Structure 1
Amino acid sequence: MTVLEEFTHVFEPATRPGAPTLLLLHGTGADEHDLLPLGRALASGAALLSPRGRVDENGMNRWFRRLREGVFDVEDLIERTAELAGFVRAATAAYDLDPERIVVSGFSNGANTGAGLLLLHPGLVAGAALFAGGAPLQGREPGPVELSGTRVFLGNGVADPITTIDQARLLADQLGERGAEVEAHEHPGGHQLPPDVLGRARDWFDRAGF
């Protein structure tokens, strides 16, 4: 089995010439179809690459194991993120994608994984739009990677009981300290993606010029 075949996934080619590719990473309990509408809303005509997380938690798909709610198995996160990076490279070759125009977008567990791609595999993606995610390595300080030119949008709720706003702000700081251009938007709600945040993310995507 090839690296590409190891991940159940959906690929939708771009319908607009020169459009970027969105790598879509679902949240806990969802699958490869869950964020396709988000991808279409963020960037009309973009190619969509949407894999399924390979960890099973009581019948729910996830990207990496956790020890309990809000506490990650960081070693597993590192290993699984490396596997996902291999899939992205394989898909880039198989689907003839522009490696400099891939943008990761994820929600919750998928957002944490997308943040892991940025911090552990710099240069793999050109940017990220992450919702309800936080600092993926939790108590560990990420390495001194170079993220200059990487554009990131973060959307988080100040009342989120799952991904606390402190973890979201820590992620913004970690990315910014490594040179990423971060635009963070906080909304008054919880663990969700409100329409106004999606609208701001769509505007950011248009301005980012991927």
Structure 2
Amino acid sequence: MNYTIKYGGKEQPVLILLHGTGGNESSLLDVGKDLMSDATLIGIRGEVLEQGQSRFFSRVSDGVYDEVDLEMRANDLHRFISELLQKSQLTTQEIVLVGYSNGANIAIKLLLNYPDKYQRAVLFHPMYPIDVLEDHDLSQTELFVTLGTQDSIVPIEESQRVLTLFRRFHANILSEWTLTHQLTYLEVEKAKKWLHRIIKQNEHE
């Protein structure tokens, strides 16, 4: 997988940056720096190409995921992240997933599949139109999620579905409603305040 890494302060969190459709490993570097200036930033490029645009997993059609491919790609992504953290000597730092759109969608799969590995995430405008039948314990998971009331890509009922999914599994969620699918300065600032509060809270536990 193509990736970029910007090392931060020793023992500072590692932000795993997962771009939206058409992005690349550098797309969220500025967002990551805004969220936590002293964190280590790892941007990863999705390996699926759809009409020339990079994604993290395949779709059957708009709003319909290829669930077999999603499972495979999420497991591959987890292995890549684990090996990269080991190689980069970053295994002791706290990991925070930061995903936008398609990147937020595969981040949800990582949170569900590996709740002991990924317990902090910032999800900008996710959609997860999948019936999750098995139970998951996400009671140790802390999430900041933004959703759009007039999102042209994610219908409002799908945004509600994401929140319902995480509440069903007892995740700790702070949700913020914006207007459209576009990532805005204001929601990044709110995510920053949330992230710094969560990290500080963990330091005192």
State how many pairs are aligned. 200
Change over 3 Å in CA distance of 1:57–1:124 after alignment to 2: same
Q: Give the residue type in structure 1 aligned to 2:189.
A: G
CA drift at 1:99: 5.3
The answer to whether structure 1 residue 92 and structure 2 residue 82 are counterparts is: no
Could you tell me how far apart the structure 2 residues matched to 1:139 and 1:93 are?
Answer: 32
Amino acid of the structure 1 residue aligned with 2:4: V
User: What residue number does 2:96 align with?
Assistant: 103
What amino acid is aligned across from residue 62 of structure 2 in structure 1? E
Q: Are 1:12 and 2:6 counterparts?
A: yes
Structure 1 counterpart of 2:163: 172
Which runs of 5 or more structure 2 residues have no equivalent in the other structure?
none
Corresponding residue number in structure 2 for 1:45 = 38
Is the CA contact (8 Å cut-off) linking 2:3 and 2:25 kept in structure 1?
Answer: yes
Distance across 1 between alignment mates of 2:153 and 2:92 = 32
Measure how far apart 1:183 and its partner are: 0.6
Q: 1:61 — aligned with what?
A: 54
Write the deviation string for residues 50-105 of structure 1: whole angstroms up to 9, x where unpaired.
Answer: 11100011211000011222221111111111110111111121111135610000
**CA, structure 1 residues 100+118, in 2 after alignment: closer, same or farther (shift >3 Å)?**
farther
Match of 2:130 in 1: 139
Whole-Å separation in 1 of the counterparts to 2:44 and 2:155: 26
The two structures, once aligned, show a CA RMSD in angstroms of 1.4
For the pair 1:184 / 2:167, whether they are aligned, the reply is no
- Superposed displacement of residue 124, structure 1: 2.0
Contact 2:111–2:119 (CA under 8 A) maintained in structure 1: no
Give the equivalent residue in structure 2 for 1:198: 188
- Show the counterpart of 2:106: 113
Contact 1:119-1:142 within 8 A present in 2 as well: no
1:171, 1:99 → 2: CA distance? 30
TM-score by length of 2: 0.92
Matched with 2:17 is 24
After TM superposition, the score normalised by the length of structure 1 is 0.90
**Cα contact 2:11–2:92 (8 A) shared by 1:** no
Contact 1:119-1:143 within 8 A present in 2 as well:
no
* Contact 2:17 2:42 survives alignment (8 Å): yes
**Correspondence for 1:3:** none
Aligned structure 1 segments of 4 or more residues deviating by more than 6 angstroms: none
Q: State the alpha-carbon separation in 2 of the partners of residues 132 and 94 from structure 1.
A: 31
Identity %, equivalent residues: 31
Taking the aligned partners of 1:50 and 1:126, their CA distance within structure 2 comes to 18
Q: State whether residues 12 and 93 of structure 2, in contact with CA within 8 Å, keep that contact through their aligned partners in structure 1.
A: no
Aligned-residue offset at 1:176: 2.3
Deviation of 1:194 after TM superposition, in Å, equals: 1.7
Partners of 1:119 and 1:175 within 8 A in 2: no
